[in-house]
Amino acid sequence: MSRRARRLLAALGVFAAALVAGTSATVGFGLATGFERSASRAGLPDVIARFDDGAAADVDRRVGALPNLEARSYRYDVRDIRLRFGSQSTRKGILGVLGGGRRGYAVTEGRDVRAPGEVVIERGLARDWDLGPGDRLELGRRFELPVVGVAVAPDNVAFPLTVTPRVWLLPRGRLDEVNVAQLWLADPGRADITLAQARATSFGIGSLEFVTREGIRVLLGQAAGIVISLLVAFSLVALLAAGTMLATGAQADVARRLPAFGVQRALGYSPGRLAARQAAEAAAIAVPAASLGLAAGALAVSGPSGELLAQLNEAPPGWALAPVLALCLVGVVLVVCVAATWPAYRAARRPPAEILRGGDLRPLKRRRGPAGPAAQGAIDVREGERPGRTRSPTLPPLTSASSTAGSRTFGPAAGTAARPTSRLGDGLLATGARFALAARGRWLASVATIAVCAGVVTLMLALAALLERLRDDPGTVGKRYELTARLDPVFIASVRGIDGVAAASPRYQAEVADSYRLGEPLRLIAFPGDHTRFEAPPLASGRRLRGPDEAEVGLGLADALGLRPGSTLAVQAESGAEVRFRVVGVVRALEVDGRLAYVQPDRLIEADATTSATIAIDLDRDADRAAVQRELVALGARVQRPGAATTRNAAFLGVLASVLRGVGLAVGLVCLYALIQALAMTARERRGAVALLRACGADARTVAAVFAGAALVVAVPAAIAGLLLEWLAFGPLVARLAAGYAALPLAPTFGQVALVLGGLVLLAAGATALVARRALREPVVAGLREE
Amino acid sequence: MISARGLVRTFGEGRAARRVLDGTDLDVAPGEIVAVLGRSGSGKSTLLHVLGGLDRPEAGSVAIAGEPVTGIGERRLSALRRRHVGFVFQFFHLLPELDGEANVLLAGRVRGADAGALERGRALVDRLGLRHVAGSFPHQLSGGEQQRFAIARALVNDPEVILADEPTGNLDVQAGADVLALLQELAGEGRAVVMVTHEAAAAGIAHRVLRLADGRLAVA
């Protein structure tokens, strides 16, 4: 391989690592800072209070009395408004009638509303419907108003991720009634005091619900956190891979240049000077390659990342990303330079005479072959001789009793001694494996790199599949029933009597608030008796509930309220009545981010008789679902399939699953690069051996078989190690990291294992074909000369 | 057995171009040993490479056992080398990861090798007196043993032509003599042997001694 080709290969490695780093930095930084950026730009309020319609003057009187208040504004939100533009329409629109003061949204296109009769629309609606300033939007059936601007309000995700698009306009005259108050606090850190006071003075205001800026940030952060963690881990893996490969490449390069080092050291060059020159050469490759890689990575994902941020109603980082990319550039170049310089420095530190005598960077261990006593005897015979000198063998005649004189055919030898066989055997695959194993350090580095990559790919696949299951399969979140029926619980006996129903139970659900920290909404779920027959999220600590005064709380709620077994959970029902439960267990539940509690229904119904109930129905394995549904409808029920973790965010989970699979594919490409790099190095070092094989008549397939052996001896252990890594380390670690409030089963399935193993074998085949083709393009004599 | 006509091979370009073979002709009969002498850089090894299909001439033709070596594709060239040509090199080119016998058998494991190649290889190890060191790795062998393993490897596919590039150049006198005796035996079996050398002793066993100078062969 020419020096130019070697540089190109090294540059490609740096480019690949930088590409991944650029990708990760762009997505990670965008997601990590997107909410704060867009919240600041929009002037998002610290607290948003929603409540039943009330007189603006009365609400303002109460709000104005709150402590720690810097500014306030009001709005009247009208829900379920029909919006239509061209052929697109929805009946779920929210019309925000603005009451003056701060808006809480940022206009990104056009201008804000100045007069009644014009609207500003949310960016999600503008993007999804291809709507913009100058267009006319139909509101209800009577009005068609001009759109003057497009805005982002980061207190919710964007349409169509949320099914409720928002538009804002000014009222004709004064706003007499309001149902939303936006509060900006002087000290956002003391929001709890303001919220407690607000709750205390909320008498007479119905359906009061608070959303805090911090709460929104945490919720979005939980969704984005998993992606950020994975991307950061992935870019570290890619950098490790590139660093390892560059280090081994540099080592080989240094080994080739040892004689020159020896001469230079003899001429008085210091080791530092030689290392510095190596560093300069590495930097000359790394800086342009890393710059290009980072730029390509950032450009490649800026579109999808922007799309993701837009769905979250967050702003892209823009030029704020530049310093981060610059930092990445410094990091990548530093890794490359250290990887390239260290072997040179180590080599150059040796005495010049020793370098000039030649040899490898490390003294090679004399390997003891598997020679039997016969071989040992041969060595004994040579005792006393100088190395390289030969004893005088008595050659048996080439033509023996078993072969006729003049004939060139050889019969089987009588008395052929059994030769000790090695573990790998002597076939072509085994020979290739020996080539790869000859450089143990590089083999280990390659296996480690590819194993980590394979582990990450498996993790990505497992995670993507899990996200889809969370979206689609209620069983993933511990729901053990197939249908829910909106039906009065008095019909429970009739439901149980339907053919195909294995079990049925009333399921009560109430949205309540924590009595102590009224900003914390939570969900109470109640089943009479043992709820685990129908919903069984895993128990993180404590025990299952046994009586009507006990509760199992979700980990999300336990974290938010500092609850643990033995604590008291006091909740305020919609009726205003307070109910207290003793926490006996903490469960890992994904629904509503774990901010829920399982109780028995008695106390809940006592507190609020209007608590809604459905009937949860578990079907027999061979039940005819359609027949059961027909029977339920005949009883007057509205039948639904139970939702999974976050059915409202189904599209978002789908996008995340696609992003993760994309990342998995990119990591797969790193595997391919690592395999090609390892094989190319082997091919470079063993070009003489390949030339010899070709001189013996080896064709392309034979050479490919040798390289296949070299590839398999790296890929197979790497695949096994990667799967073990995912199973034992990555999966459990990410499950904990991604969602502390839930149990995420991230063990790979058989299909994922097969996909990773098959993929790696395919990648090995591809790398083999590529490297063998290159090796075969070289003239045989060139390889022989080097040998 | 070997027929080469008008071989031309040039290295370098422009003013630096050097024509090491310039219309070289050579014929070698079965059982004949031809020694090619010449100064360093005169093109002896290049001639051997061109004869064995390891290198391609710019002009001229080569045929071995009646099959053309020049003007054919790489696949056919590989098959020709496998069936008809055995190479012996000055530096043995044994693979350090394989023991002596495995090195010999490697040539019999290439795709398309003769079905009896492996058996023949084992027999060769015995016949060349290498059985007691068959399990030793190259670094545990003497130079003479290494060269005999290399010769056994060259013979695994039972070729009609042996092309030896300085086969004794890296050996002491006695080991060199053993190897030359072996080559004589091979020629005695009817194989054509072309040997590049600059050693008088090596040339001594040849039926014909040619000198390569200015790109052409002449009787020495």
Tell me the count of A-B CB pairs closer than 8 A: 220
Q: Do A374 and B135 touch (CB under 8 A)?
A: yes
Chain A CB within 8 Å of residue B54 CB: yes
Contacts B171 to A, Cβ<8 Å:
390
At A475, the pLDDT band (50, 70, 90 cuts) reads low
Chain B CB within 8 Å of residue A411 CB: yes
Chain A CB within 8 Å of residue B109 CB: yes
Chain B CB within 8 Å of residue A373 CB: no
Between A561 and A435, the higher pLDDT residue: A435
Q: Do A693 and B122 touch (CB under 8 A)?
A: no
Between B29 and A471, the higher pLDDT residue: B29
Amino acid symbol at A779: P
pLDDT in tens, A44-94: 898 888 888 888 888 888 888 888 889 999 999 998 889 998 888 888 889
Can you tell me the mean pLDDT for A541-565? 86
The yes-or-no verdict on residue B18 having pLDDT over 80 is yes
The yes-or-no verdict on residue A29 having pLDDT over 90 is no
The yes-or-no verdict on residue A236 having pLDDT over 70 is no
Average pLDDT score over chain A: 78
Residue of B nearest to A407 (CA): B189
Distance from C-alpha of B151 to C-alpha of A388, rounded to nearest angstrom: 17
The yes-or-no verdict on residue A547 having pLDDT over 80 is yes
At A247, the pLDDT band (50, 70, 90 cuts) reads low
pLDDT in tens, A608-665: 777 778 899 988 888 888 899 899 898 888 887 776 554 445 566 666 677 677 777 7
Contacts A408 to B, Cβ<8 Å:
158, 160, 189-191
Instruction: Give B68→chain A minimum CA distance, Å.
Output: 15
**Mean pLDDT lowest among A349-363, A754-768, B157-171:** A349-363
> What was the pLDDT predicted at A393?
37
Distance from C-alpha of A197 to C-alpha of A69, rounded to nearest angstrom: 11
> What was the pLDDT predicted at A662?
73
For A583-597, give one letter per residue: b (16+ CB within 10 A) or e. Answer: bbbbbbbbbbbbbbb
Helices (H), A184-270: 191-200, 213-256, 258-266
Q: Residue A287 belongs to what H/E stretch?
A: helix A271-311
Long-range contacts, A316-320 (Cβ 8 Å, 24+): A316/A30, A316/A34, A317/A26, A317/A29, A317/A30, A317/A33, A317/A34, A317/A37, A320/A29, A320/A33, A320/A37
The yes-or-no verdict on residue A400 having pLDDT over 50 is no
Question: Angle at the Cα of A680 (from A679 to A685), degrees rounded to 5?
Answer: 100
pLDDT in tens, A583-620: 999 987 767 767 889 999 988 888 877 777 889 998 88
> What was the pLDDT predicted at A552?
94
pLDDT in tens, A557-573: 887 777 889 988 888 87
The yes-or-no verdict on residue A156 having pLDDT over 70 is yes
pLDDT in tens, A680-708: 888 877 888 888 899 888 888 899 999 99
Residue of A nearest to B81 (CA): A697
Distance from C-alpha of B94 to C-alpha of B106, rounded to nearest angstrom: 10
Instruction: Give A383→chain B minimum CA distance, Å.
Output: 11
Chain B CB within 8 Å of residue A369 CB: yes
CA distances from A133 to A121, A515, A583 (A): 9, 45, 54
> What was the pLDDT predicted at A75?
92
The yes-or-no verdict on residue B32 having pLDDT over 70 is yes
pLDDT in tens, B113-172: 888 888 988 988 988 888 899 999 888 888 888 888 998 898 888 889 999 988 888 778
Q: DSSP string spanning A567-592?
A: -EEEEE-TTS-EEEEEEEEEE---GG
The yes-or-no verdict on residue A744 having pLDDT over 80 is no
Average pLDDT score over chain B: 88
Contacts A416 to B, Cβ<8 Å:
122-123, 125-126, 131
Q: Do B101 and A705 touch (CB under 8 A)?
A: no
> What was the pLDDT predicted at A405?
34
The yes-or-no verdict on residue A172 having pLDDT over 60 is yes
Task: Determine the straight-line distance between the first and last CA of chain B, rounded to whole angstroms.
Answer: 22
Q: What is the DSSP letter of A600?
A: -
Helices (H), B56-99: 74-84
Chain B CB within 8 Å of residue A430 CB: no
Distance from C-alpha of A780 to C-alpha of A774, rounded to nearest angstrom: 12
